Copies of this chain bind each other. A is one copy, B any other.
Amino acid sequence: MKTLVVVGHPDVANSSTQGFFKHAAKEEPQVTWHVLRAPFDPLKEHQLLWEADRIVLEFPLYWYSVPAVMKDWIDQIFDEELLGESGQRLAGKEFGVVVTTGRALKEFAPGQSQGFTLAELLRPLQALANETKMTYLTPLTIGQFTRLGKKERLELAVSYRQYLTAEKPGHLATSVAWLVERLNKLAKEHEDQAPGYLGLVAVLLDNQEQLADLGVNLTLLGEDD
């Protein structure tokens, strides 16, 4: 499966958040990390989108929607040439969203300071996916990245890599399957540590329902980065 990450940020080079994601994405060979810079070459952009099985828009939330550079890209690139005469040329692909917010995630709720959920605020992207017959993935939402501690960042790196590459990201069974696959791979690559990795595999498979608490597995996996 090929994943295209489309990054919309006015100053990616100086974004520690995007630097973190870029580093994590590098671990996944089937992922193309594509930073938007105007002017766009429609032919090249269309080719990237056609080749991807999963398209992920990644951006910081600016005034409750995508930054201008990403809206510019959407307005210019999502045309009849891209979608085909039938409008179905992207049909069947998966369409994901990785969004970071300066506010804490809990503020995005009725009765909280931001008043609306992120699911609601991202409706325009969901509607775009619907219109182009792509499957909308539950967005991966990250609040106040710079305040995350080391353990939280390692967990995020795993969640992010799963979001880009796992089947049905966000589902528990997906997380387990994805971790088991990666741990088995690590066991083969690092024979000296194989017993430890394979032990974790056994724990995972025995305790799928308690996965959320097994922060230690995520931490160990992250240390290989």
Contacts and interface: CB of A to CB of B under 8 A. Distances in A.
A127 B131 contact: no
A68 B123 CA distance: 17
A116 B121 contact: no
Contacts of A116: 123, 126-127
A208 to B, nearest CB: 34
Copies of the protein in its oligomer? 2
Q: How large is the interface on A (under 10, 10 to 19, 20 to 34, 35 or more residues)?
A: 20 to 34
A76 B69 CA distance: 12
A78 B62 CA distance: 10
Given A71-B71, A114-B131, A115-B130, A64 B123 contact: yes
A120 B71 CA distance: 18
A120 B125 CA distance: 12
Q: Which 10 A-B pairs have the closest CB atoms?
A: A64-B124, A68-B72, A71-B71, A65-B124, A64-B127, A68-B71, A68-B75, A120-B123, A115-B130, A63-B74
Interface of A: 10, 62-68, 71-72, 74-76, 78, 114-116, 120-121, 123-128, 130-131
